[in-house]
Amino acid sequence: MLSRKSGCTCLRFAALALVYLSSHAFAQTPQTLHVTVEGQPALTLDRAALAAMPRVDIATAAIHHQAAARWQGVALSELLRRAGAPTGESLRGRAMATVVRVAAADHYQVVFSLGELDSSLGHEQVIVADTQDGHPLQGDGPFRLIVPGDQRPARWVRNVVAIEAANDAPQAP
Ligand SMILES: Nc1nc2c(c(=O)[nH]1)N[C@H]1C(S)=C(S)[C@@H](COP(=O)(O)O)O[C@H]1N2
Ligand SMILES: [Mo]
């Protein structure tokens, strides 16, 4: 027999489920991306801004449970350069200790060193993708990090909202 008490529990569960869903599945991922290099003004970029930058197209099947795909976007190093990070010959000295943190809407974060992203040094190929096989990213977008060399896509940050380059190294005496 369904008691009044169990009916009440059921309602309470439904209310809780609704709160959970609205804070997760329906939570809006910001449509802009902030790129900040310590000591420089921040860049705020949307899909149109990325579409107007030099584009990179890469093929990769690193996601173990996904078929091969092509991803299009902008090199992470290009975004950092536009935000004022040193590249090539000017990436030296104290700047070699610069840490690049990529943060997602769900607070997931991944770090790189600026040196490993530079084409003159570690040349790790990393892109901020906005389309997969030419289609805008849906649940994992609008921006997703793609690191083609990774066998395990743990650095493929979904829903990227911020990229920050910071440096804690002491100044040279
Ligand atoms: N924002 C965000 N991105 C993330 C994660 C996460 O928890 N949050 N997990 C990472 C890990 S550990 C893996 S294995 C892949 C999974 O990618 P998929 O969701 O396309 O399967 O996403 C990566 N990107
Ligand atoms: Mo993972």
Residue nearest to atom 1 of ligand 1 (CA): 158
CA of 144 to the centre of ligand 1 (A): 10
CA of 153 to the centre of ligand 2 (A): 6
What pLDDT was estimated at residue 172? 76
pLDDT above 70 (res 12): no
CA end-to-end span of the chain: 80
DSSP H helices in the chain: 4-23, 47-51, 76-82, 114-117
Tell me the pLDDT tens digit for each residue of 102-145: 999 999 999 999 999 999 999 889 999 999 999 999 999 999 99
Q: pTM of the full predicted structure?
A: 0.85
